[in-house]
Chains A and B, each alone.
Chain A
Amino acid sequence: MKNARKNAWRMLGEWNIPSAPGNERLALTFISEALQPLGSRMAAFETAVSEAVMNAMEHGTQYQPGTSVMLQVLASPTSLMVRIHNQGGQRSKPVAEPDLEAKLAGLQSPRGWGLFLIRNLVDEMQISEDDQNHVVELVMHLKAPRTSNQPSAEQSKQHARDTSCSQEES
């Protein structure tokens, strides 16, 4: 987050999304235009944002009627940030890293992938909270770092070409 903090952030928009199951999709309709500069990385950022909004609604406002989650989109010359803010709910608790084999063995719930996805899909994530407020800041750089988890377009094309062969061999 240090690099992001050095940037001068400019507010692009702010929305209050009513807390209700499925409304993370509504949130995406508001912010999608602002995320266009991310190009091929936009889908990853959208998934991360929708997971953070869903967490805020499910665990923060707990889908209480009349509550909402605030969404802000900010831009710097090098990055985009989405800030998700909710009031109420419980403080975050440590959660076990999701492990597919443990889930298949019944040792973990089949669910619990949200935070894992967020962490792995964005360039930076920061969570701050007190007894009343819970704020998640997600940052994606306009140019993907070399260490990004997201495959390059050429890698993906090659992967698509190779997939059926490698899968069938396994």
Chain B
Amino acid sequence: MSQEHVKMNVRHISPNASIIDIQGDFSAVAEPILMQAYAEASTPPTRAIILNFTDLAYMNSSGIGLLVTLLIQAKRQKQQVMAYGLNQHYHHIFELTRLTDMIKIHATEAETIAAAKRL
């Protein structure tokens, strides 16, 4: 799945958890790609949607809005959204917007997967 400045890849790491690898710009143009990736990632009985921001190049307020939309959908499906790979700047933005209240942030993929297994 890709558009000009963003690519997403879905990995089913267990029956209960999927990772969406986000590469490039997370802005308004990413919406159809994210929604397609989410649909692919959230096949039942998925309970954890993990966002990998390691290769994130840029995120703006539209990207924050996309995450809110994703959270609304995940909440309906009774899924937990988790993330890792955020740099210091975007971690700060997640704190400012209080996304950290809703998206559990971990330092590494291994820690995130371990936390997902405990759900």
Contact = CB atoms under 8 A, between A and B. Distances in A.
- Answer yes or no: are A and B bound together in one complex: yes
B68 A160 contact: no
B65 A112 contact: yes
B61 A100 contact: no
A125 B96 CA distance: 17
Q: Which of A25, A100, A114, A151 has the most CB of B within 10 A?
A: A100
Contacts of B101: 100
Interface residues of B, number: 36
Contacts of A111: 61-62, 65, 68
B68 A114 contact: no
B13 interface: no
Contact of B89 (A21, A43, A168): A43
Given A25-B25, A25-B58, A110-B65, A163 B105 contact: yes
Contact of B60 (A47, A150, A151, A163): A47
Interface of B: 5, 25, 27-29, 58, 60-62, 64-66, 68-69, 71-72, 75, 88-89, 91-93, 96-99, 101-102, 104-108, 111, 115, 118
Interface of A: 21-22, 24-25, 40, 43-44, 47, 50-51, 54, 98, 100, 103-104, 106, 109-114, 116-117, 120-121, 149-151, 156, 159-160, 163-164, 167-168, 170
